[in-house]
Structure 1
Amino acid sequence: MRLAKPFFQLPVLFEVDRLQAEVAALPAEAWVAHPDSVPGNSAARLISAGGAQTDSVHGQMLPTAWLDSMPYTRQVLAGFGVVWSRSRLMRLAPGAGVPEHADVNYHWHARVRLHIPIQTRPQVRFHCDGETVHMAAGEAWIFDNWRRHHVENGSNADRVHLVADTTGTAAFWQLACGRPPPRDQWRTMLWNPDAAPRLLTETDQRFPVMPAAEVQMLIEDLRAELTMAVDTSDARLRMTRFGLLLESFVQDWRQLCALHGVGGRARPDFVRLANAVRQAATPLAAGLVMRTNNASALLVLEKRVLQHLVVVQEAPPDPPRGQPKATERANFT
């Protein structure tokens, strides 16, 4: 999500010792390798699709068994009063880092990532768009992950952050980005052994086919960031044609939605249009990038729009033994 500046610190603090004790109590099997195999990066899943051991960002988000064993951590998350998407503990080994990148996927268009450091040292530095901060243990931060960013653990100890994704309520955004009070007036979220907080988690919000209004919003956002890596007459011509292609795509997608709706009927027609746009965009997007983070325009179109236009139909699970499969049952009608 794009923010007005690279970093915002929230005026709220947490009981570090209690958070650290809950992290230390996790078994070794709670920690899994980074999904992209980034060296020195591992995570413990706290909120995931179905509460399962998965990194998917789609589906009904639920607490995992690991979060169920961490009552104060659950209290911390519930205390924000927001709806949480995928959330994890993210661990960075001594001397390891997170390579520079920008988050361009669809998931990040409307979500921000909250960081609550649990184990850290002053040598851990977070860089975003030319600015650098150390997020101290027990603090809360958000940052603009549309900008290029990276992390360095220059210490000799593991760095562990509670990292949770949300779209945020109005109250959350006022807390995060409003004028903060003096630090001696910041609230500390204390452990309450009698509390039974309600944790709000995302449901699967996808339609089988992406509605035309959302497609238009995503395309307009992409076009607002569009620029040339090198300004040449050829690049200017490609950028004009690329923009016209995207405009035509929105118009044609709107017509398909008007004809078939977004419930999944006539999926092949939607898929054909998406594939045609992908094919036409590939040569036109050469040398076109995003103004803020220099990401390839074609990559952003693919990751933020094209891959999410039509939800892939999953095969139904096999029925209990002795019952006909779905295809067999269909033959009985």
Structure 2
Amino acid sequence: MRLPQPFYQLPVLFDVACLQTEVAALPDEAWAPHPDGVPGNSAARLITVGGAESDAHVGQMLPTRWLAGMPYLRQVLAGFGVVWSRSRLMRLAPGVGVPEHADINYHWHNRVRLHIPVFTTPEVRFHCDGQSVHMAAGETWLFDNWRRHHVENNSTVERVHLVADTSGTSDFWQFARKPLPPRTQWRTLPMKPGANPQVLTEADQRSVVMPAAEVQLLIDDLRGELTVAADSDEARSRGERFDRLLESFVFDWRQLCALHGTAGRGLAQFDGLTHSVHQAARALGDGLVMRTNGVDAMLVLEKRVLQHLIVE
């Protein structure tokens, strides 16, 4: 989710000792390597598709057995009053980092990533779009993961953050975006022995074919960010043709949705349109990037739109 500024700190604190006790009790088998093989990165899965040991983004989200055994962490998540998508404890080994990147996948178009540090030291720094912060244990942070960001753990100990994905309610966003009051006025959530609140999790969001309104939303967002990496008459011309191609694609997808609906009829025509637009875009996309983060426009089109138009 694109945000007006790189970082937001929320005026709420959590019991660090309770968090650390629950996380430290996890067995070794709870920790899985990073799905992309990033060295020194591992995670304990808390909310996943079907509650299984999975890194998938799409499907019915449910608590895992690890979250079931962490009563305070469930209270923390439930206390925000929002619906959670994929959520994990993310561990970063001493002396390593998370390489610079931007989160461009479809999953991130309408979701934000919330961070609550559990184990950390001042040597751990989070960088986003030229700004840098230390997220202290028990604090709550959001950041704009559409912008380029990276993490450095320059300490001699492991860093562990609770990292949870949500689109947020109106109350959540009013709370997150209001001016930060003095720290003495921040809310604190203590452990409530015996409490077992319901953690709200996302239902399966998929239709067989992506509705035309959502396609337009995604394409309009991409078109608004489109620019050229190196300015020239030829690059600007390709950018204009790329933009017109995307506009035409939305019209044609809407017509197919009008004819067939989104339940799965006419899949060959939807697939044919997707393929033809993909090929035409590849011929035009060289040197076209996103204005905010410099990511290749063709990569964004593929990962945020084309790969998610039809459920296989």
Q: TM-score range by the shorter chain?
A: over 0.9
Q: Which amino acid letter does the alignment assign opposite residue 67 of structure 2? A: L
Alignment of 1:125-164 (within 5 A): 125-164=125-164
Shift of residue 177, structure 1, vs aligned partner: 1.1
Whole-angstrom distance in 2 between the partners of 1:93 and 1:271: 43
Whole-angstrom distance in 2 between the partners of 1:120 and 1:236: 46
Contact 2:125–2:151 under 8 Å retained in 1: yes
Alignment of 1:14-29 (within 5 A): 14-29=14-29
Q: Secondary structure at the match of 2:176?
A: helix
Whole-angstrom distance in 1 between the partners of 2:128 and 2:107: 19
Partner of 1:324: none
Partner of 1:327: none
Shift of residue 160, structure 1, vs aligned partner: 0.1
Whole-angstrom distance in 2 between the partners of 1:79 and 1:308: 32
Partner of 2:262: 262
Alignment of 1:106-185 (within 5 A): 106-185=106-185
Partner of 1:331: none
Partner of 2:282: 282
Partner of 1:202: 202
Partner of 2:251: 251
Whole-angstrom distance in 1 between the partners of 2:26 and 2:7: 30
Q: Which amino acid letter does the alignment assign opposite residue 271 of structure 1? A: D
1:301 aligns with 2:305: no
Q: Which amino acid letter does the alignment assign opposite residue 68 of structure 2? A: D
Q: Which amino acid letter does the alignment assign opposite residue 128 of structure 1? A: C
Whole-angstrom distance in 2 between the partners of 1:156 and 1:194: 36
Shift of residue 308, structure 1, vs aligned partner: 0.3
Q: 1:297-333: per-residue Cα shift (whole Å, max 9, x none)?
A: 0000000000000000xxxxxxxxxxxxxxxxxxxxx
Partner of 2:12: 12
Shift of residue 288, structure 1, vs aligned partner: 0.2
Partner of 1:54: 54
Whole-angstrom distance in 2 between the partners of 1:28 and 1:215: 42
Whole-angstrom distance in 2 between the partners of 1:90 and 1:180: 26
Whole-angstrom distance in 2 between the partners of 1:15 and 1:90: 18
Whole-angstrom distance in 2 between the partners of 1:245 and 1:100: 31
Q: Secondary structure at the match of 1:201?
A: coil
Structure 2 residues without counterparts, runs of 5 or longer: none
Shift of residue 175, structure 1, vs aligned partner: 1.1
Whole-angstrom distance in 2 between the partners of 1:109 and 1:149: 16
Shift of residue 171, structure 1, vs aligned partner: 0.7
Shift of residue 294, structure 1, vs aligned partner: 0.3
Q: Secondary structure at the match of 1:200?
A: coil
Partner of 1:69: 69
Q: Secondary structure at the match of 1:289?
A: strand
Whole-angstrom distance in 2 between the partners of 1:187 and 1:224: 38
Q: Which amino acid letter does the alignment assign opposite residue 205 of structure 2? A: Q
Shift of residue 181, structure 1, vs aligned partner: 2.1
Shift of residue 195, structure 1, vs aligned partner: 1.8
Q: Secondary structure at the match of 2:26?
A: coil
Whole-angstrom distance in 2 between the partners of 1:54 and 1:251: 36
Shift of residue 182, structure 1, vs aligned partner: 1.5
Whole-angstrom distance in 2 between the partners of 1:89 and 1:260: 42
Contact 2:71–2:196 under 8 Å retained in 1: no
Shift of residue 194, structure 1, vs aligned partner: 3.0
Q: Which amino acid letter does the alignment assign opposite residue 10 of structure 1? A: L
Q: 1:201-238: per-residue Cα shift (whole Å, max 9, x none)?
A: 00111110000000001000000000000000000100
Shift of residue 151, structure 1, vs aligned partner: 0.1
Q: 1:122-150: per-residue Cα shift (whole Å, max 9, x none)?
A: 00000000000000000000000000000
Whole-angstrom distance in 2 between the partners of 1:127 and 1:179: 21
Whole-angstrom distance in 2 between the partners of 1:291 and 1:282: 19
Percent identity (aligned): 70
Partner of 1:190: 190
Shift of residue 184, structure 1, vs aligned partner: 0.2
Whole-angstrom distance in 2 between the partners of 1:71 and 1:271: 46
Partner of 2:98: 98
Q: Secondary structure at the match of 1:252?
A: helix
1:35 aligns with 2:21: no
Pair member with larger Rg: 1
Partner of 1:315: none
Partner of 1:2: 2
Q: Secondary structure at the match of 2:274?
A: helix
Q: Secondary structure at the match of 2:98?
A: strand
Q: 1:257-314: per-residue Cα shift (whole Å, max 9, x none)?
A: 00000001111110110010000000111100000000000000000000000000xx
TM-score by length of 1: 0.93
Contact 2:74–2:196 under 8 Å retained in 1: no
Q: Which amino acid letter does the alignment assign opposite residue 188 of structure 1? A: T
TM superposition outliers: structure 1 runs of 4+ over 2 Å:
none
Shift of residue 180, structure 1, vs aligned partner: 2.4
